């Protein structure tokens, strides 16, 4: 009758390629196209800049609340860039950087944040899901997508994003269990940004890493330095490759940090000290990647600065453009659309009533 250790799961790996100085482990360095590297860097800059603008607009009362992405650009772009356009993007509510990488239009996102449903209309050919507010609710959807992909005999992949806090929801566990049991082509990208509003990562779960949660479901897990875009990319490339080959899902835990507020309704100074934020600022993914690009001779200092300016310029016009679009929208009719595939008679009646009442109802 033995009592002995069992080997139940592969050991967990931690991956980091590029350190804070922009120095790297050459053996681990991925072989990426220069143009793509530049594109990744530019998208990080756009995300950071857009975040800043959104925050200003929110403070100025122009848009509603939103969840800033600053600090998590490498996790999102590193992962998303491993997927191709035909793969599916299933976000939570903080994926501004991944959205931009997918070719999302900042004007659309601005419209949406300003409260216009039209802004969330996803282009016909884009395989992007809308954001989801209930934490972790998007994960079973990604599993369902992957199931459909398999049923259709396609080789696409579903990539879904969520936070450390989301791993406490049943939806997370059930989605992973399904994906593992059916060996579905899903990549689960957990952005462990250390906080779920005011609750620190340690009080979310007693497990040492989040990546290891995959192991219980028979899913390989890997923990990566989420502020190192190369490490995230390498882990995501492997995960996407595995999924595409029919070898099942992967859980990638990106260790990163939310540099700003949880949402605009939050005041982080109540629960975390400035020192911690400062420490993480030193590990900011953007300057780190810039140093790498400079050391590799892909961008020189002048080009990098120019890029920052051109991004500022590009995004400088977003608000005006959004305002122009808003001018063309409006009318209460839109709120009755899309409740059902076809407008049912009772909504037709309500629509008419609201329509005739438009003026009176102070539609402004």
Partner 1 sequence: MPQITYREALNQALAEEMERDETVFLMGEEVAEYDGAYKVSKGLLERFGSDRVVDSPISELGFAGLGVGAAMTGLRPVIEFMTFNFSILALDQVINSAAKLHYMSAGQFSVPMVFRGPTGAALQLSAQHSQACETWYVHSPGIKLVTPGTPADAKGLLKAAIRDDDPVAVMEGELLYNVKGEVPDPEEGDFIIPLGVADVKREGDHVSIITHGKMVHVALQAAGQLAKEGVDAEVVDLRSLRPLDVEAILRSVHKTNRAVYLEEGWPYVGIGAQIVALIQEEAFDYLDAPVLRVTQADIPMPYAKNLEKLAKPDAKRVVAACKRVLYQD
Ligand X SMILES: Cc1ncc(C[n+]2csc(CCOP(=O)(O)OP(=O)(O)O)c2C)c(N)n1
Q: Which of residues 203-222 bind partner 1 (CB under 8 A)?
A: 203-205
**Min CB(167)–ligand X separation in Å:** 7
Closest CB to ligand X: residue number: 163
Kindly state whether residue 135 participates in binding ligand X, applying the rule CB under 6 A.
yes
Pick the binder of partner 1 from 44, 97, 135, 261 (CB under 8 A).
135
Kindly report the backbone phi and psi dihedral angles of residue 222, in degrees, each rounded to the nearest multiple of 5, phi listed first: -145, 140
Rule CB under 6 A: is residue 190 a binding residue for ligand X? no
Of the candidates 90, 196, 243, 318, which one interacts with Mg ion according to CB under 5 A? 196
Q: Are 199 and 270 in contact (CB under 8 A)?
A: no
Q: Other CB atoms closer than 10 Å to residue 257's CB: what's the count?
A: 23
Residues 251, 289, 263, 189: what is their CA dihedral angle, to the nearest 10 degrees? -10
Q: Closest separation between CB of residue 183 and partner 1, Å?
A: 26
Residue 71 CA, distance from chain mean position: 12
What distance lies between CA 59 and its chain's CA centroid? 23
283 is catalytic: no
Q: Does 219 bind ligand X (CB under 6 A)?
A: no
CB half-sphere exposure, 92, CA atoms < 13 A: 23
Which ranges of 195-344 does DSSP label H, i.e. alpha helix?
229-244, 274-281, 285-295, 301-316, 318-328
Q: List the single partner that 94 binds among partner 1, ligand X, Mg ion, none, CB under 5 to 8 Å by kind.
A: ligand X
Give one DSSP letter per residue of 64-113, joined into a string.
Answer: ------TT-HHHHHHHHTTS-TTSEEE--S--HHHHHHTT--HHHHHHHH
CA distance linking residue 121 with residue 118, whole number of Å: 5
Token digits of residue 142: 């990604």
**Contact with Mg ion (CB under 5 A): which of 68, 78, 104, 163?**
163
Task: Reply yes or no on whether 59 is catalytic.
Answer: no
* Subset of residues 260 to 289 that bind partner 1, contact rule: CB under 8 A: 270-271
Active-site residue, selected from the candidate residues 271, 279, 338, 349: 271
**Catalytic pick from 242, 262, 288, 291?**
262
Q: Is 272 a catalytic residue?
A: no
Q: Which stretches of the chain bind partner 1, using CB under 8 A?
A: 64-65, 112, 115-117, 132-137, 165-166, 168-171, 196-199, 203-205, 270-271, 330, 332, 334-336, 339, 346-347, 350, 354, 361-364
Q: Give catalytic residues, as residue numbers.
A: 258, 262, 271
Q: Which stretches of the chain bind ligand X, using CB under 6 A?
A: 94, 133-135, 162-166, 193, 195-197, 258, 262
């Amino acid at each position: 009758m033995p009592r002995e250790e069992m080997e139940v799961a592969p050991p967990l790996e931690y991956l980091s390629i590029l350190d804070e100085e922009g120095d790297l482990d050459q053996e681990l360095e991925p072989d990426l196209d220069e143009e793509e590297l530049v594109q990744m860097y530019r998208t990080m800059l756009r995300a950071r800049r857009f975040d800043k603008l959104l925050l200003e607009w929110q403070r100025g009362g122009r848009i509603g609340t939103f969840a800033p992405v600053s600090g998590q650009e490498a996790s999102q772009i590193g992962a998303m860039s491993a997927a191709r356009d035909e793969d599916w993007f299933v976000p939570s509510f903080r994926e501004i950087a991944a959205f931009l990488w997918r070719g999302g239009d900042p004007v659309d996102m601005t419209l949406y944040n300003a409260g216009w449903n039209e802004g969330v209309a996803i282009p016909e050919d884009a395989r992007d899901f809308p954001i989801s507010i209930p934490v972790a609710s998007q994960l079973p959807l990604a599993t369902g997508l992957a199931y459909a992909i398999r049923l259709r005999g396609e080789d696409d992949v579903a990539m879904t994003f969520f936070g450390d806090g989301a791993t406490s929801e049943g939806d997370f566990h059930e989605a992973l269990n399904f994906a593992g049991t059916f060996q579905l082509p899903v990549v689960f990208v957990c952005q462990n940004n250390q906080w779920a509003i005011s609750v620190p990562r340690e009080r979310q779960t007693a497990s040492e890493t989040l990546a290891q949660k995959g192991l219980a479901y028979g899913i390989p897990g890997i923990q990566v330095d989420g502020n190192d875009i190369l490490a995230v990319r390498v882990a995501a490339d492997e995960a996407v490759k595995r999924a595409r080959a029919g070898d099942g899902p992967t859980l990638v835990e990106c260790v990163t940090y939310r540099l700003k507020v949880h949402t605009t309704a939050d005041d982080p100074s109540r629960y975390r000290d400035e020192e911690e934020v400062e420490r993480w600022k030193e590990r900011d993914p953007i300057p780190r990647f810039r140093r790498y690009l400079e050391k590799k001779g892909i961008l020189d200092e002048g080009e990098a600065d120019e890029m920052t300016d051109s991004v500022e310029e590009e995004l400088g016009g977003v608000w005006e453009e959004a305002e122009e679009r808003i001018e063309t929208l409006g009318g209460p009719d839109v709120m009755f659309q899309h409740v059902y595939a076809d407008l049912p008679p009772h909504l037709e009646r309500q629509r008419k009533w609201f329509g005739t009442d438009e003026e009176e109802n102070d539609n402004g």
